[in-house]
Chain A
């Protein structure tokens, strides 16, 4: 099973600041990695797939990068609606796995 480790667990930032979230895989997942956003009481929403492709309707301030074992989700300038929990997920091999999440909170 591929283990995904996200860091930091919590990121405290102010609106307008840049957010950098990390996801590290226990073995190579090539570019088969996605990022999701989840707000309290809501279902997750796909942000990025195949490491760097924005999903439909996702603002350009969200970007993804990386390949192999190290990946980054960057939010260039935090909007109030971006404070949420973010998860990475790999589809390289079964079972499909998620990281433990990064909580982006208001500083």
Chain B
């Protein structure tokens, strides 16, 4: 069974940092693009970042470019999102998702909540 399990969310002060992880199992991790998508409370879905199979080409939404860094460890079957200079606007559930045909999202993890507040 394909599984994606996010961790690392929590409460952080404005200007702070957080590192999210997504542990993958049940498929050949190194064969798939991976993505982060977020959803602010009561709002819609917003793509945040994606990375290709070997991890050599990251892509970012403009809203996080220069602050967030996506990476992956194919030996550990794990995807990461390093988030710096966090603001209240970054408060959301962060989902990791496997890329289907690269850039559709299937499946999704259960999400991890990031709250930026003083």
List A residues at the B interface (Cβ < 8 Å): 1, 34, 36, 38, 43-46, 49-50, 55, 87, 89, 91, 94-101
What are the nearest 3 A-B pairs in CB distance?
A: A91-B103, A46-B106, A43-B108
Please indicate the chain B residues that have their CB under 8 angstroms from the CB of A45 in the complex: 107-108
> Roughly how many angstroms separate A34 CA and B47 CA in the complex, as a whole number?
14
> Roughly how many angstroms separate A50 CA and B50 CA in the complex, as a whole number?
19
Asked whether B105 lies within 8 Å of A44 as measured between CB atoms, the reply is yes
Please indicate the chain B residues that have their CB under 8 angstroms from the CB of A101 in the complex: 44-45
Number of A-B contacts (CB under 8 A): 61
**Binary per-residue interface labels of chain B (55-81) against chain A in the complex, 1 for a CB within 8 Å, 0 otherwise:** 000011110000000000000000000
Mind listing 23 A-B residue pairs with CB under 8 Å?
A: A34-B104, A34-B105, A43-B95, A43-B108, A43-B110, A44-B95, A44-B108, A46-B104, A46-B107, A49-B106, A50-B101, A55-B100, A87-B44, A87-B45, A89-B104, A91-B103, A94-B59, A95-B47, A96-B50, A98-B44, A98-B47, A100-B44, A101-B44
